Structure 1
Amino acid sequence: MQESRLFRILYYLLDKGRATAPELAEKFEVSVRTIYRDVDAISSAGIPIYVTTGRNGGIQLLDDYVINKSFFSDSEKLEILSSLQSLSAVQYPEVDTILKKLGAIFQIGLTDWIDVDFSRWGTVAENENRSFRQLKKAILENCEITFDYYNSTGESSKRNVHPYKLIYKDKAWYLFAFCLSCNENRLFRLSRVKNLILTEVHFERKTDICQYHSVFPMPAEIGNLIDLELEFTLDVGYRLFDTLDDTAIIKHENGYTVKLTLPENNWLYDFLMSFGDKVTIVRPKYIRQTLKAKHEAAREHHKGE
């Protein structure tokens, strides 16, 4: 606990420049005596922190000092900077100043290693990035939002929701939110969210919803999960690795065997149909019949053209 507080004090001083002991005591909910003990601990770690008295006095770090022995190993320093840089890349410009300060103190050059563009190919980037900025504001400030939502059949409905978190899952962005019309938590695919409006209505974040887990409720429209075993020819391997998890793909002399669990929906059938005669459905066998019917329907649709 103390180590965490020491770093937070260091971070605070880097951001503010100077602080008084009572200010730090109130900030970190400890006594003034504890703050002075923390200052001694930081100083003993080789960080030049000092206390000045008088009207403009306080606790501060020596300007332009480079930490060469401190709490962090070289790898930990890089990890801290990389994490902050990733936040900066996803439109958290408020971390830029602290990022530069830490980079100077650690004496580590920053590599521009990440850039995030939320827009899809063929879209107006600014429009989609604006939607992400609106969602960020709504989530951080607990603002209710309203939008038109299109389901998998193209039907739209007006939704008012309390947004809680953005999730990137299986090559798509989702909004985890409490839907007021359904009175339950829902996962909304962002590509189907249209005409998003940030309202002036604020909501109280529920503590049980704030305890997020790695498994989120699957949208009902995604479909039931089924176990698949598929065989693909060698010449479509690049598509498999572009789309599927590597652990599901087994290469052999004549092609690829794929075993995985996927929701049964239009995406699955469109995906399988796109391979034409390059895929063989081993199981479940009823998928073969459904696929044959879809191919026949497509052939009949273009018959006589």
Structure 2
Amino acid sequence: MKTERLFSILIYLLQKKKVSAEQLASQFEVSKRTIYRDIDALCSIGIPIISYLGKNGGFTLIDTYKLDKFTFSEEEKRFLLQVLSLKSELFDVQQLATLQRKLELLKDNNQDGGSNISIASSTLHRQTIENETKVKIQNILPVIEQRYKMSISYVSQTANISNRIIQPIKLNFMNGSWYLEAYCEVREALRLFKLTRIRNMQIIKDTTRATNFEETAQSSTKSVKMEEIRLSFSKSELGKLYDFFMEDEITLLENGQVNVTFTYDTNKNMLPFLLMFGRHVKVLAPEWLKNNYMSEIKFIFES
């Protein structure tokens, strides 16, 4: 699981002077891109990882961190894994503060003062919606762990209200919002449920799985279709682009434009992302995405 890998990478870094992305990718049997995302996740909660660029580059922790001070209880370890997996801004502030103090104790010095770590929300919702979503996440996590089912009332994007029996699998953070990936017994397929649209939910203490559950889950994983996407942005968007793309995916052109080339799962809807940039983005390829984007712009203009 991702959370276990993140924690293993942290322990690995604590024991090594410096390790390259290639070494970590080989050690944990994932791609270099995945390693970069994992390192970003670790940094986001204040783990002091230093990145070195170039041929002999890699990752290391600051020298003042020591492995023999890295001691957590099982409950704290579990919380740390949840933080790494679920973008810590949605967890209890007091719990997070306690964990941050423990991380500070890893340092050899005994400087006074508060934590120099600040976690701010990265979602697009108001605080009241954040609080509601936080409660939902805290209720859903034990259901996923215990493999229970849930009964939910769900409002679709087209305003259709339905009642579903679902088997939760994992939480996903996408485009500034939280989604629950689950097997829907009504549709007999995997579905993504946006947490803000789940209006009611009730735990069903039933661990039986649908007969086609494993097959459906596996076929969903295999259905990932990666394709190269090429976009052109105004130079004014450069800072924002580094929130989404790696250095080697971004090309600065002499005419002031910024081209981005990356691979993406084309089963996922890219239009909300493109609309974030308004007139500052142009789709270069593939042709089907260009046509879809233009159709969406036309629809918005005419509506």
Matched to 1:159, the amino acid is R
Task: Specify whether residues 300 and 93 from structure 1 end up closer, same or farther in structure 2 by C-alpha distance, changes over 3 A only.
Answer: closer
Give TM-score, length-normalised by structure 2.
0.52
Q: Secondary structure at the match of 2:232?
A: strand
What is the 5 A alignment of 1:1-305? 75-77=66-68, 79-81=70-72, 86=80, 90=91, 113=117, 115=119, 121-124=125-128, 125-168=130-173, 171-184=176-189, 186-191=190-195, 193-204=197-208, 217=220, 226-253=227-254, 254-262=256-264, 268-301=270-303
Q: Secondary structure at the match of 2:126?
A: coil
Give TM-score, length-normalised by structure 1.
0.51
Structure 2 contact 150–165 (Cα < 8 Å) conserved: yes
Instruction: Between 175-184 and 82-91, report the one with greater CA deviation.
Output: 82-91
Question: What do you get for the CA RMSD once the two structures are aligned?
Answer: 5.0
Matched to 1:259, the amino acid is T
Q: Secondary structure at the match of 1:181?
A: coil
Q: Which consecutive residues of structure 1, in runs of 5 or more, have no partner in the other structure? A: 1-72
Q: Which consecutive residues of structure 2, in runs of 5 or more, have no partner in the other structure? A: 1-63
- Count of residues paired in the alignment: 221
CA displacement 1:128-176 (0-9 Å, x = unmatched): 2221221123234443211133445443432112224334456543323
Instruction: Between 94-103 and 149-158, report the one with greater CA deviation.
Output: 94-103
Q: CA deviation at 1:182?
A: 3.2
CA displacement 1:22-81 (0-9 Å, x = unmatched): xxxxxxxxxxxxxxxxxxxxxxxxxxxxxxxxxxxxxxxxxxxxxxxxxxx953245545
Q: Secondary structure at the match of 1:177?
A: strand
Shift >6 Å, 4+ stretches: 92-110, 116-119
Q: CA deviation at 1:258?
A: 0.8
Q: CA deviation at 1:283?
A: 1.8
Task: Specify whether residues 107 and 278 from structure 1 end up closer, same or farther in structure 2 by C-alpha distance, changes over 3 A only.
Answer: closer
Separation (CA, whole Å) in 1 of partners of 2:133 and 2:98: 26
Matched to 2:202, the amino acid is L
Structure 1 contact 148–195 (Cα < 8 Å) conserved: yes
CA displacement 1:204-238 (0-9 Å, x = unmatched): 579x989xx9x9947x9xx9754321222211212
CA displacement 1:260-288 (0-9 Å, x = unmatched): 23455895334435544433332223444
Matched to 1:242, the amino acid is D
Matched to 2:258, the amino acid is Y
Higher relative contact order (CA 8 A, sep 6+): 2
Separation (CA, whole Å) in 2 of partners of 1:177 and 1:156: 17
Structure 1 contact 160–181 (Cα < 8 Å) conserved: yes
Structure 1 contact 187–217 (Cα < 8 Å) conserved: no
Q: CA deviation at 1:122?
A: 0.9
Q: Secondary structure at the match of 2:243?
A: helix
Separation (CA, whole Å) in 2 of partners of 1:102 and 1:277: 43
- Is the radius of gyration larger for structure 1 or structure 2? 1
